[in-house]
Chain A
Amino acid sequence: MGSGEPVGSTGVPLIGNTIVRNLADKGGGIYLATRKTPGGPVAAMRNCIVTDARRGGGVQMEPDVRMYLWYTDVFANAGGDYVGLPNQTGLNGNLSVNPRYADLAGGDYHLKSQAGRWVPGSGTWVKDDETSLCIDAGDPASPFDREPPPNGGRVNMGADGNTEEASKSFTGMMLGHVPASGQTNMSTKTAVMITFRWTVQEGSVEQRFPLTPAGGSPVPGRFAWGRANRAVTFIPTKPLQGLTPYTVTLAKNVQRLDGTVLDWSESFSFTTGASAFGALAVTATAGQTASGGAAITVDLSSAANVAVTVLNVGGASWPNCRVRSAIGPQHSALGWSVSSGHSGAARSLPDADHGPRRRRPAEPGAGGRQPGTLTALEPAARAAMGGCSGRNPARAARSTKWS
C-alpha cells in the first residue's frame, strides 16, 4: 500500500466504478495478482464502491503488489473487505458504509438521494427517503462538473460519479439541528435548535413546526430566533415525557426571506431518557487514531456542567483525550464503562483541569456538534468513521429523513 500518487504506474487505474456482488475464491471484488514481470506497475483505485462480494472478500492483493486506494467505499463483502492488506477505512478518504443502492437485488446501483436519483429507463428522477453517504464522498480533486445540480461541488463515489446520472446532493433546509437524528437519552428538559441553510420567514417556520411524541399531540412551546433568521430554538413549556420518541417536523412550504417556497418537508427524531439528566453513554472504538490511543465518545448531551476524567486500566490519563464539554461532580457517581476492554471510572476534578465549561461554538456549515461529545480523533479520521459518533456532522445532516 502506498499513500501517494503511483509513480511509473502502467496499470490502468480504476476510477469511479461500482463493483458489486461479484464472486471469486480470491478477491471477490478485486484481486491483484502476483506480477510475473519484475518491476511491474502498481494498481490504483479511486472513488470506487466495492460491496457485497458473495465470496472471496472485497479487495485482495498478493504481497508483492502495490496498490493505491483513495476515496473508496468497501463494504459488506463476504470474506472480508480487505484481504492481504490492512483495513483502509478511514485512510485517504476511504469509507466502509452502506452505499444505499436504489435496488441491490434488482441491479440498480444508483445511489439513493433525498435530492434526486436517476431512474434508468424512465428518464425521470425520484427522491428517496434517505441519502447515500457515498454522494459527495469522492476525491475533492476529482472533476464533478458533469453531475447535475445540486452536486455539492464534489464528485460522488461509484459508477455514476461525475456523470449525468449522478445522484443529486442533498441540500435540505436544515443545515444542522440539536438533538441529532436518532439521538437517545435526551434530557426531558431539552430544547430543539435548528440552523437553517437560508434565512427564513419566522412565521412560516413556526406554523410548520410540530414537536410530537410518538402517538401524541404536538408539544407546546415558544420560539427563540437568532442569527438573522437562520437559527431557531424551540423551548417546550413543560418537560418532555421520559423514554419517549419525539419527532420534529418542518412541514413543506417553509418560505425563505427572499420568498422562495421550500416545497418539501424535513424531519428528525430523538428519544428522551429517563430523567432531566438523561443517561451517560460511553463508547470507545479502538485503533482509530494515529497515536495509538482509543477514541472515546461520551454522550453527555443531556448533562451540562459535568466534569469527567478518563483513566485507563493502569490509572494514567489517556494522553490524547480532550474534554469538549464537562460534567459536574454531582454526576460522577453515575459510573461508566469502556467497551473496548478498558474499564475506568469517572471522578470529579476541578473544572480548571479539564478545559472550559462553555460549549464549543458550532462549526460553520456543520450544523453544530453534538454537545458533550468527547473525542480524540483528528478531523480526517473522524470523517472516516462514517456513521459512528465521530462522523462528519455534515454527513450526519444528510441522513435527516424526509417525508
Chain B
Amino acid sequence: MKACIRKIVIVIEETRRELDREVSPPTRRAAAIAVIANPFAGRYVEDLTELMEIGEELGALLTERAVAALGINGAAAESYGKAAAVGENGELEHAAAILHPRLGTPVRRVLSKGAALIPSSKKRGGPGLCLDIPLGHKDAAYVRSHFDGMEIRIHDAPRADEIIVALAVTDSGRPLPRIGGLSKAQIKGEDGLR
C-alpha cells in the first residue's frame, strides 16, 4: 500500500425513530475513515501524484469497508459522499489531491454504478475536528430524499502530519422524507443528475 495508515475507523448508524414516528425500515449509513501519514507535510511539493495514487487505493478500501459494515452488496447502496481533513502541517490542496482525481473510479466499481458526482467536503484542522460528509444519491444527484450529511470525528486525528480520508455510503435516504422533488423511483440514471 502507498498509504501509511495509522488507524481505520468504521461508524455505522441506524435510525429507528424520529419524534413519535417509527422509521421502518430503519435508515442506515456507514462511514469508513482512514487516518494516514501526509507525505508532504511541512513543505511545499509541486507534484501531488503520490496523494492521487493514495486516493485511488483508499477509494477501493474504504468503499469495501463501508459496504461490508452495512452488510449489503455494493449495488444496493443508495447514496454516497466523501471528505478529507488535513492536519495543520499540510495544505488543503493535499485533500483535493486525494479526493478528486482518482478516488471516484474504484468507489463506483465497488458500488456497480454511481453516475452522480460524489459530493465532497474538505478542511484543515486539528485532532477531534468535526467533518461533515455531504451525501447525495449515487445515480441521480437531484433525488431530494437523499440530500443529507453525516458527521464524523476522531478524537486523536488528524495530527499535524496526518490526513483523515472518509467515505460514507447509505442504503437509504433521510428518515422521513416529505419535501417532494425527484424521487428515487423516477431516476432515469443517464446523466447522473436525474
**A and B, one complex?**
no
Binding site for A on B (CB under 8 A): none
